[in-house]
Amino acid sequence: MKTCFLFPGQGAQYPGMGKDLWENSEVVKDLFKTVSAISGKNMESLLFEGSEEDLKATDNTQLAVTLVNVSTSLVLKEKGVEPQGCAGHSLGEYSALWQAGVLSTEDLFKIVKIRGEVMEKTCRTLHTPEGSPGMAAVVGISSDEVKKALEKVPGKIFMANDNSPIQTVIAGEGKAIEAAQAIMDEAGAMKYVILKVAGPFHSPMMDSARLEFEEKIKDFTFNDPRIPVYSNVTGKKIISGEEAKKLTGQQIISPVLWVSDESAILEDSYERILETGPGMVLRGLWKSFHRAMKCIPVGKYDAIEALG
């Protein structure tokens, strides 16, 4: 069965995630040891004993979610399920690059560690006594309508995620995020939710993180993809390792074109879509995009066994 793996990103985390995978797979236990050594963090303690607040810290979140994404893929492989294509939402794109053979396991977690650290550092510099930048989800109007409404918002504010035909995430200065609510309501939004995140991800405000990240990963090897992997930045398949490396930096400051990724995946005629990691965020986004084919969450051991 032609299968596409979709890997979730930051925001999918929750305390205790991945424990059932760890309990049922020696390969996953070995992976936890590897990631603990690379990161200098006790990943078992962080995931299984850490609080929600511990997991919200960007440098912790990125390692933790990636670890559960990869653990899920490894257990699926043990059960005979491997993908013919893959994509990842924001941070999840790194898991997709690993799945496609672009990154080795060790390099994946080294790079994710760097990404989390430089983004956390940049977010701290953006916090001021006047307020902190952030993000908000706009529900019920199209991304084009959101873009048009953003032109009326004072201050720095940008489209960050084109998540579904009816959900767009915006990022910007704290005052701009607050001011945008009334403008989005006027444009017809059904819901406006200020997100609990550390900074204005996927916006030009993160450019210092991009520059530092690109410098720190310049000596890492990015291989050509072995299977199709779809880019958040372009909404199209990544052709080469060189392109993949360039896009990882651009992704930090560019909108996540998830609807475009979903469209490209649909055009490639997959028979099964699996949300390969914690939570069910991507299932909901896929349902908003296309109802005929379901996206099946398989981030828990029982769900993997139920695939048959």
Tens-digit pLDDT profile for residues 128-172 = 776 789 999 999 999 999 999 999 999 999 999 999 999 999 999
Whether 123 contacts 43, CB under 8 Å: no
pTM comes to: 0.95
Mean per-residue pLDDT of the chain: 95
Torsion of CA 249, 253, 254, 255, to 10 degrees: 130
Contacting residues for 227 by C-beta, under 8 A, at least 6 apart: 83, 84, 85, 86, 99, 100, 101
The answer to whether 202 is a known catalytic residue is yes
How far out from the chain centre does Cα 165 lie? 18
How far out from the chain centre does Cα 272 lie? 20
Average pLDDT over residues 287-307: 93
Q: What is the pLDDT of residues 226-242, one digit of tens each?
A: 999 999 999 999 999 99
Give the model's pLDDT for residue 58.
83
Q: What is the pLDDT of residues 77-89, one digit of tens each?
A: 999 999 999 999 9
Q: Indicate the DSSP class of residue 135.
A: E
pLDDT grade, residue 127 (50/70/90)?
A: confident
Q: Is the pLDDT of residue 308 over 80?
A: no
Burial classification of residue 233, based on how many CB atoms lie within 10 Å of its CB (0-12 exposed, 13-18 middle, 19 or more buried) = buried
Catalytic residue (one of 36, 73, 142, 202): 202
Q: How far apart are CA 50 and CA 19, in angstroms?
A: 12
Higher pLDDT residue, 206 or 126? Answer: 206
Region for 101 from its dihedrals, namely left if φ exceeds 0, alpha if ψ lies in -120 to 50, beta otherwise = left
Which domains are seen in the chain, by residue range? Answer: 3-126+204-306 (3.40.366.10), 134-194 (3.30.70.250)
Q: How far apart are CA 8 and CA 29, in angstroms?
A: 21
Give the model's pLDDT for residue 196.
80
Q: What is the pLDDT of residues 245-274, one digit of tens each?
A: 999 999 999 999 999 999 999 999 999 999
pLDDT grade, residue 225 (50/70/90)?
A: very high
Catalytic residue (one of 39, 73, 90, 142): 90
Beta bridge partners of 143: none
Q: Which two tokens stand for residue 304?
A: 């993997």
Q: How far apart are CA 288 and CA 285, in angstroms?
A: 5
The answer to whether 90 is a known catalytic residue is yes
Give the model's pLDDT for residue 292.
85
Q: Which two tokens stand for residue 151?
A: 């032109």
**Which amino acid type is present at position 280?**
M
Contacting residues for 167 by C-beta, under 8 A, at least 6 apart: 137, 138, 139, 285, 288
Higher pLDDT residue, 96 or 198? Answer: 96
Q: How far apart are CA 266 and CA 263, in angstroms?
A: 5
Give the model's pLDDT for residue 132.
86
Reference 83, options 263, 227, 241; nearest CA is: 227
